[in-house]
Homo-oligomer: A and B are copies of this chain.
Amino acid sequence: MGKGITSRAEDYSKWYNELVERADLAEHSAVRGCMVIKPYGYAIWEKMQQQLDKMFKETGHSNAYFPLFVPKSLFEAEEKNAEGFAKECAVVTHYRLKNDEEKPGKLKVDEKARLEEELVVRPTSEAIIWNTYKGWIQSYRDLPILVNQWANVVRWEMRTRLFLRTAEFLWQEGHTAHATESEAIDETKKILDVYATFAEEFMGMPVVKGVKSENERFAGAIETYCIEALMQDGKALQAGTSHFLGQNFAKAFDVKFTAQDGKQDYVWASSWGVSTRLMGALIMTHSDDQGLVLPPKLAPFQVVMVPIYKGEEQRNTVVEHLSEIKKELESKGVSVKLDDRDTHKPGWKFAEYELKGVPLRIAMGMRDIEKGTVEVARRDTMEKKFYDKHDLPNKVTHLLENIQDNLYRKAVDFREEKTATANTYDEFKTLIKSGGFVHAHWDGTAETEDKIKEETKATIRCIPLDQKAEEGKCIYSGAPSKGKVIFAKAY
């Protein structure tokens, strides 16, 4: 274990990096910008996946799998999309290595095995999928198509950070096809609601639902809906996006259908995704200077048990008692890890599981057995209490619910505190400097947004869906505005 991690106040960015590595979530790999997701981190991601997958299926979606590679000519077809991603594409040009005659034991690219057409490693899959949908769709009977894929994608980022921005990341991408515009828009919004529900009820992370300004819109979309969260350092994080693509991809790939009335039309589309970036959001919403803090619904194990003993005989007795309690808890649907390793001391284990954010810790020694009690420590508040052994299953389920609620409420309170309204540009600059969401009137132009970004590093996070209609003047240009939008510095 060694010593603690850097405090958030001292250096938030350093705190984040140390936490991710020390809590065994992820680490940098030998490949520039690519991470290794370690078993403990991956177990959290699996919990996220399972829940999201369940929600997608409950809303009528099925999973499928499309190729990793996109031939360059397909990639080019939707021009805006291609332009948006061209600068960060990993490109496969050859399909063979051969022995390097000059360096025995070494390999080199076989120039004879150059591909006729280069393959782009997918940065997103609209192109390959819409090229496939062309073969699936003839009539309105073939619609809607409601498909999702869990996959890896690659975007060559120059400045990377574990989970937040990596060259390769894991995500899900939904790609749906519809007979009407309104159905496609409904789908786009439905998924935004799924994302918001997941963020709030499972991650314990409050989000604002909104639409992106043109500057921040997905390349190739008509409208990008998003959920935006606020991190502890006052920076915003885009946690999920759902795009209404109109007929852009249908036109690029010539995907038409015959409607019930016999007329032909291009198909309407949506696409939507969340990624391993959510891991970073989860960390930066709840964790503290002692390490990770996990909401019970996403913790790989919700309770860790640490036996306190001297000698083999005591150990057997305590572990036996704990094993019984473990079974009882598991029968209530609580996930439990009993750490009965003799190679590590209880103090080491306490610190380790604090660092790893396990919601509840149960400790038990010989004295507890005599008294019929156990010590329970909450990770979120660090409170410790003794409970009667027989009450324990009910107490634990209650505590876990309480922790889940408490984390969400704390995050909501924090966001409220860090949300303000600016009526002048001076006010705006001061507020942005101190971090948080800043509501302000904007004239609706990309030029103004660009200038504000240049001068303050703040961008428009979204035009909130619950925006109040009110006449006002843009804080920057003074031009008329019909409602406030949300600005922040962002990850």
Contacts and interface: CB of A to CB of B under 8 A. Distances in A.
A170 B65 contact: yes
A29 to B, nearest CB: 5
A68 interface: yes
29 contacts: A27-B135, A29-B66, A29-B128, A31-B67, A31-B119, A31-B128, A37-B64, A38-B64, A39-B64, A65-B170, A68-B68, A69-B90, A75-B97, A76-B106, A86-B96, A87-B98, A89-B95, A90-B92, A90-B94, A90-B95, A91-B96, A91-B97, A92-B92, A92-B121, A93-B93, A93-B109, A97-B120, A109-B118, A151-B152
A362 interface: no
Contacts of A88: 95-96
A57 B380 CA distance: 28
Contact of A63 (B39, B67, B98): B39
- The count of identical subunits is 2
Contacts of A65: 36-37, 42, 45, 170
B71 A97 contact: no
Interface string A116-159: 00111100000010011001000001000001000110101000
A129 to B, nearest CB: 9
A267 interface: no
Nearest to A154: B68
A98 B86 contact: yes
Contacts of A147: 39
A168 interface: yes
A129 B42 CA distance: 15
Q: Select the residue from A64, A79, A96, A120 with max chain B CB neighbours within 10 A.
A: A64
Contacts of A42: 62-65
Interface string A73-89: 01110010010001111
A349 interface: no
A109 B87 CA distance: 10
A249 to B, nearest CB: 14
Interface in A1-44: 27, 29-31, 34-39, 42-43
Given A35-B67, A37-B64, A94-B93, A107 B86 contact: yes
A90 B135 CA distance: 27
A96 B107 contact: no
